Amino acid sequence: MIIEWLISEQNQRNLYINFYKFRINRRSDVRTYWKCSTSGCRKAAVFENDVLVLFDDVLEHNHGYNLDLSMKNKLSMLCFSIIEIAPYKSAFKIYQSARKKLLDLFEWHDSCFRNIPIFENFKNIIYNKKEEYIPSHNNLNFEIPDSFKFTLKNKIFLAIDNRNKEDSIICYLEKDFVRKIFNFSDLKLMFDIKFYVSPNISKQLYVIHAFKGNKYFPLIYYFLTNKTQRIYTRLLRLLQNSFYNII
């Protein structure tokens, strides 16, 4: 079931259940009784503090979906219902699942294809909603297990751990592997910042990749606990002054 509260242009709060619009029929002390906004439709729902407590699944609407909902809003509702159940699911998979369900609902009609937002134009809505369900861990006083300090071949993988300082940076690399890669000729490096794939103990993941021909190798991983100018300055200094000492 897809339940969504949307604010209209007149700043009114509207309830939609499975893309059908509902209006308030009456109120009691703790309950609000809603009915379908389409005249003659008997579909109803009962809420307590915005929580659905009663809904007739047998009685069907006697009309089609409300036309005032855009495809973007419909897609949002479907995505939000997925995020509520599986907040750690990737944004793209959430989008794909919601898009397929939306197309199925509209029987893959051409107008539905044309009006569904593409992922690139919609992903921030998914990311922002996911953040509401995924707790952030600002407390860095945790112990990194040994399994995250060493490689499977029991070589040191955790290179820098300075969580006692402000704007902490945690760095992972396997020195022998990095040295081996840096012996290649015609090697190119790429520096890449990832925000949404970073674990929730950090704000972003900064990765150094090496390119050799048509192959690339992720070499060094920096987990940054902030997005401030100060932490970027520290990272640049680390790259400038300590890069070759690390490898």
Task: Pinpoint the residues of the chain covered by CATH 2.20.25.240.
Answer: 3-55
Backbone φ and ψ for 34, nearest 5 degrees, come out as: -110, 150
CB 65 within 8 A of CB 43: no
DSSP state of 240: H
Section 80-102 average pLDDT = 89
Mean pLDDT of the chain: 81
3-state secondary structure 169-216: EEEECCHHHHHHHHCCCCCEEEEEEECCCCCCCCCEEEEEEEEECCEE
Q: Which class is 3-55 in CATH?
A: mainly beta
Give the Cβ contact number of residue 45 at 10 Å: 21
Which band of pLDDT confidence, cut at 50, 70 and 90, is reported for residue 134?
confident
pTM for the complete prediction?
0.50
Q: pLDDT value at position 32?
A: 92
List Cβ neighbours of 238 (8 Å cut-off, separation of 6 or more): 160, 169, 171, 222
